[in-house]
Amino acid sequence: MTHPPMPLLKGTLDVLILKTLGWGPSHGYAISRWIQQTTGDELHIEEGALYPALRRLEGKGLLDASWKTTATGREAKVYTLTAAGRRQLKAEVSAWSRYVSAMTRALEARPTGAIA
């Protein structure tokens, strides 16, 4: 049974973009595909959300962008993490890891007595 893609939680798109670019420079379509493939088709990034996020991250100094010719001969804007982007990625991954760990503990907890 296949499930429809899950909606992104607020604040997750930026960290997913930063993580994707942590592997190396990429253009928007490739970023979207990497996220979709890596999450087993659970997360789909729409162009209407992706490109404004890329511009926002570039405006914050977390990404650099330049126009390049792709292997197919098309012009594409390629994004690269800046040093500030790498620092932000590290901080975001740490924060999300703590959040996931706390949520997992709460969701897997068993009752230990009456809750007052």
| pLDDT digit string, tens, across residues 57-100 | 999 999 999 999 988 899 999 999 999 999 999 999 999 999 99
Per-position DSSP letters for 50-96, written without gaps between them: HHHHHHHHHHTTSEEEEEEE-TTS-EEEEEEE-HHHHHHHHHHHHHH
Look up the CATH number of domain 12-102.
1.10.10.10
Instruction: State the first-to-last Cα distance of the chain, in angstroms, to the nearest integer.
Output: 40
Distance, CA of 101 to CA of 108 (rounded, Å)? 11
Is 4 in contact with 42 (CB distance < 8 Å)? no
Residue with tokens 């296949």: 2
Per-residue pLDDT tens over the stretch 80-91: 999 999 999 999
DSSP helix/strand/coil, 47: helix
pTM: 0.86
For residue 109, pLDDT beyond 80: yes
Q: Where are the domains of the chain?
A: 12-102
Write out the two tokens for 16: 């997913």
